Structure 1
Amino acid sequence: MSKTRPQWLGSGDRFARLKRIQTLDPEVDYREITELFYTDFQSVMVVQGVSGFLFTFAAPRMSRILKASGQAEHHTAKRFVDTSLLTGAVMSHGLEPGEGRHAARRVNAMHRHYDIHPDDFIAVGCDVPIMSLELADRFGWRPVTDTERRGVLTHYAKEARAFGSHKPIPDTIEEARAFWENYLDTELAFEPQNKELADALLQFMPTLGRVS
């Protein structure tokens, strides 16, 4: 029996997505660039999904809110899946009227229930692209391009504002990393709820393949 050859954008060329990315403008086509980037590096991006949650648990200002809401600790599967679906809708459809904007408005409405510090919004908005790009750089099957770096950062900057951030994400990867690293140094600290939230997530992870 012959094996089915893998397809990349309908082609047998594994660099088809990269070639498409190279034709795009990161200031305009950031959503498509980000979607293609994640698809090309999907084998290592599951780590980013988990690390993103753990990052919010490690910052006491955020972990106190998450603990008080009870969602991350007592409804872990729902929180994980809802986050994936809503952010996925924004990535797939963008912020134009339709499914993507509707998803962003749902996230924004949920965020408005809580007193979220502006720096926490920015830190999360920086963490996702920085960690995604770093994982791709370290473990990906091909080099990451400057177009991808710019496009991914721009996508998450737009997403952060749509999700409720009152301040913009830093404009460059270098500035975003500087903010993020300073946040790690000054805002991350142990409090009991950090571990409780992390334990709930880690207990959920082995069941992830069974979530429907």
Structure 2
Amino acid sequence: MRRYERLSHILRLDPEQDAHEIYRLIAAYEFPWDFTRALELALYRTYAVPSIGRLLAATAELTDRSQKRYDDTALLLDAVVEHGFDSVQGRTAVRRINQMHRAYDISDDDMRYVLCTFVVMPKRWLDAFGWRRLTDHELHAVSTYYRTLGRRMGIRGIPGSYAEFERFLDRYEAEHFGWDEGARKVSDATLELMASWYPRPLAPVVRGASLALLDDALLRAFRYPEPGVLARRLTRGALRLRGRGVRLMPPRRRPHYARQNPEIRGYPGYPNGFRIADLGVFPAQGGPNGSGCPLPRAAEGSRDRHT
């Protein structure tokens, strides 16, 4: 397979009807490492909105159990990527996401903003560091994929195109980014988590590199000191160099999903794998009849086990 052969295949697919397949090919074959980093940054950005960061701090999930929260979030979102929206696994994952979110008072605007970060940040990451950029055809499919996810999460007023997702994100951040003590604690815990994935002597380097990737708006919101020019140049230069190197490599022949990432520490520790229906937290509150989810529950008895 030639380096751009998969892209040629993607361009022959329909960005509406085949949105999930296009997204799967992008995320699991073309850019698995980049999408992991971009989605980490996407979720991290949301902490700078005080209403979101404050809530996350109050739950203590990202401060006291940060590794488990990271694992469960990645595995739930990736179950849909790997298996599709209408699979038992995909429906169970969306149901769990809804059950958790509906236990809290989260505004439609905040939910819509988080969805926008999933659409916009991978594109911006790849523009800066990827081995190639996403085409308009792929951006159309990515937007369609997340519109589908948003509808199944009950989010209202979802943007209709990539350009609309991007405009909403930029406007929301300009209006809502700000300081919150709880959000700063969540941010610090997340940076510590990322540093813990590497040998202890490298922890200060990893934290410094992470801060060097943050834009000025994020640094101001969390009141972090601005990284030095050299730190930013070295960090971003290394990532651009990696992208050029990947471009020269043969294309990936097997998919790589989030459950295969070394950063997922809980999953390898389960001797019999994990059940999607058991991931995440189980708040006492829920939606109608305690289900917390508008989706049919017929498939709940058939829980997928990954090994």
Asked whether the two chains share a fold, i.e. TM above 0.5, the reply is yes
In 1: Cα distance, 2:18 partner to 2:125 partner: 22
Shift of 1:19: 1.9
Deviates more, 1:198-207 or 1:107-116: 198-207
Give the Cα separation in 1 of the matches to 2:71 and 2:5.
30
The reply to whether residue 33 of structure 1 matches residue 16 of structure 2 is no
Q: Do residues 136 (structure 1) and 126 (structure 2) align?
A: yes
User: How far apart are 1:89 and its partner, in Å?
Assistant: 0.5
- What does residue 32 of structure 2 align with? 42
Q: 1:200, CA displacement in angstroms?
A: 0.6
Decide which of 182, 191, 212 is 1:202's aligned counterpart.
191
C-alpha displacement of 1:41:
2.0
Which residue matches 1:178?
Answer: 167
Partner of 1:69: 59
- 1:164 Cα offset (Å): 3.7
| Structure 2 portions without partners, runs of 5+ | 198-261, 269-307
Identity in percent: 34
Contact kept? 1:111, 1:163, Cα under 8 Å: no
CA distances 1:77-109 after superposition (whole Å, capped 9, x unpaired): 011010110000011122114101110011011
Q: What is the match of residue 156 of structure 1? A: 146
What is the one-letter code of the residue matched to 1:197? V
Say which is worse superposed, 132-141 or 66-75, in terms of deviation. 132-141
CA distance in 2, matches of 1:98, 1:195: 37
Deviation at 1:62, TM superposition (A): 0.8
Would you say the 8 A contact 1:111–1:164 is kept in 2?
no
Quick check: 2:48–2:178 contact (8 Å CA) kept in 1?
A: yes
How big is the alpha-carbon RMSD for the aligned residues of Structure 1 and Structure 2?
1.5
1:96-140 deviations in Å (ceiling 9; x for gaps): 141011100110111110011000111111111111111122222
Aligned CA distance change for structure 1 residues 177 and 205 (closer, same or farther; 3 Å)? same
Deviation of residue 159 (structure 1)? 1.1
User: Which SS does the other structure have where 2:12 is aligned?
Assistant: coil
Rg (Cα) greater in structure: 2
Q: 2:69 aligns with which of 49, 72, 79?
A: 79
- How far did residue 194 of structure 1 move? 1.3
Tell me, what secondary structure is at the counterpart of 1:22? helix
Count, aligned residues:
200
1:206 shift after superposition: 2.4
**Counterpart contact for 2:43–2:114, Cα < 8 Å:** no
Equivalent residue of 1:47, what SS? helix
Aligned partners of 1:173, 1:95: CA distance in 2, in Å? 20
What CA distance in whole angstroms lies between the structure 2 residues aligned with 1:46 and 1:176?
Answer: 20
Say which of 86, 89, 94 aligns to 1:96: 86
User: Secondary structure in 2 aligned to 1:58?
Assistant: coil
Contact kept, 8 Å, 1:157 with 1:168, in 2: the verdict is: no
Q: For structure 1, which runs of at least 5 residues remain unmatched after alignment?
A: 1-11
